[in-house]
Every structure is written in structure tokens, then in C-alpha cells.
Amino acid sequence: MQKRKLGNSNLEVSALGLGCMGMSFSYGPPKDKHEMITLLRAAVERGVTFFDTAEVYGPFTNETLLGEALEPFKGQVVIATKFGFKLDPSTGKQAGLDSRPEHIKQVAEDSLKRLKIDAIDLFYQHRVDLDVPIEDVAGAVKELIQQGKVKHFGLSEAAAKTIRRAHAAQPVTAVQSEYSLWTRGPEAEVLPTLEELGIGFVPYSPLGRGFLTGKMDANTKFDETDFRSKLPRYTPEALKANQALVDLLGKIGAEKKATPAQIALAWLLAQKPWIVPIPGTTKLHRLEENIGAATVELTSGDLREIESAAAEIKVEGARYPEAIEKMTGR
């Protein structure tokens, strides 16, 4: 697998990473631990060196899973994790945001133990906390970097102005936000800001939480433990309305002998050389399909065709319920 550098930093990772949330959290019941360890190790064997987790995934169990699975590959892989949520001590459920410096430092200590590593490669603020100045957040991570406990600072779903302020206090290596052919918000302000400042970009949900693979339709039913059952964009009406986007990917895929998922990922890779998508999966054949996207070449003509066809398609449904959407783009 080709490698990419995240912006101007010296952080080099595989062109496609692996989002690990769904192994423990959000997409139905947690998956079998031993199967997921096998999958994570298979990803490393196939050239994936970039793994994404967070303390809230589980909570805690996803970090523990990665700690066990990736322990044999210390020094060969890059693990990104996140801080910034307040967790109810009795239930472990999210109870708002908390990016106070003392909390960030405690999360780092706990994550290091669960991940069985000496330093966190990339430590993202999971969501911007309006109660804590971003300079204080950056300062806390700067201290952790000086202590050798963290290597790189990241932000997730932050607005351009917040990225600038954070970067002035402590250089930001990467910003992670949702980005795909059906979620293109970052193009307006975030991507130009990252290009100017030399910061890498890590799109999460690059396959539209599975929709852009072509494996869903208006009849798809989600388990009540599946996060998508609560998202406006995954109602039967929205899925039906948005099918045109999948049809477009399928058409290009047929010409390229590639799947819709591979075209969706290849499109992201073609946008900028400092973009590293992190599709998630719990299945080996999907992992291999996603990795295959790194070898799909889209010409400038292909990209123009996708762009002009996508411009005619209006995506239906908000990506998050209002309460969650309010935490993004701040």
C-alpha cells in the first residue's frame, strides 16, 4: 500500500487507514473480540498502518481491543485516539463535553494503558468544547507532547477559525471530519485552510456509513442498537432519494472494473495527496475491497464526470440529529 504524509508533519501513514469504532460500538452489538483481533492483524499484514479509535468507543473497549491486537506491531503502526467527552462514571455513557486540561491529561494516561503504548501517535479533540478556549486545549496537548506521551495533535469536526487558533498555539497535524461524495461540507472552508496551513485531513465515514457501497436500499432495516436507525439520512425516504449517488458510483465502477465503494474511496484519494480516508469494517472481504481502492486510478476526465453528475444530485436528510449536529463545525 502507498504511504501518505499528513500535511507538513513527518507523520507517514498508509494511504487508507482503518476506522475501528464499529468493532465495539455504534453499529449494532459489539463484534466478537477474537474475530476483530484477527481482522486488525490482517489489516497490518495487508499494509494498513493507520488505526483510528477513541475512549468513547465502547466506552473504553475499542482502545483495549486495539491495544491487544496491535501490541505485536509496536513501532510499525500509527494509532489515533481522542479525548473531549465527559463520561458518566456509573454507566460510561456520554454526558456532554469536557476538554479541561486536567481531564485531557487524565484521558491520555488512561488511553496509554489501554492501548499498551508509550506515546499516543495522534491525539484528537473529539469535539470542540465551547467552555474551554481552544488555546488551553492546545496547550494541554503541547505539554503532553513535551512529556513524550503524545506525538501529534489533531482536531475533529472543528471549524476553520478554530483550526487556525489551535494551530497557532500548537501545530495541528491532522483534522478529522466526515467527508465523502454525499457529505461535502469541508470543501467550503476547512480544506482550503488545511492546505494553507499544511495540515492533513482524515475523512471518517468515507463510505457514507455503508450507504455508498451499494449494499443498502430503501428496504434496509437497522437494529435499534445501530446508530444509523436514529439518523435522518437513513430513513427509507432518504435512502431512496439518495440512491442516485450510488448509481453514479456503480456506473463509474463498471467502467473501471471496480466496486462503488472503491470508486467512492478513490475519489477521496484523488482530491488531495494529504487526504487519508479511514473506512471502517468488521469483515475481511470488505477490508480487502477497501484496500483495493488505493490502486484505482481516476483520470481528470473521470473526476469531472463524477463532479458534474454529483452536482445534479441533491442529497436528502441531515447527517445527524440536531443535538449532535450542534457539536460540529465549531
Q: Which residues are catalytic?
A: 57
- 285 to each of 44, 46, 89, 203, how far by Cα in Å? 15, 12, 38, 21
- List the grid coordinates of 9: 508533519
- 55 to each of 65, 93, 207, 224, 254, how far by Cα in Å? 11, 11, 23, 22, 40
DSSP 284: H
Q: Do 160 and 304 meet the contact criterion of CB atoms below 8 Å apart?
A: no
Distance CA 270, CA 322 (A): 31
- 47 to each of 15, 42, 120, 252, how far by Cα in Å? 9, 9, 20, 26
Q: Do 262 and 293 meet the contact criterion of CB atoms below 8 Å apart?
A: yes
172: β partners: 153
- 226 to each of 85, 116, 122, 123, 145, how far by Cα in Å? 20, 29, 27, 26, 36
Give DSSP secondary structure letters for 248-278: HHHHHHHHHT--HHHHHHHHHHHH-TTB---
Distance CA 67, CA 11 (A): 20
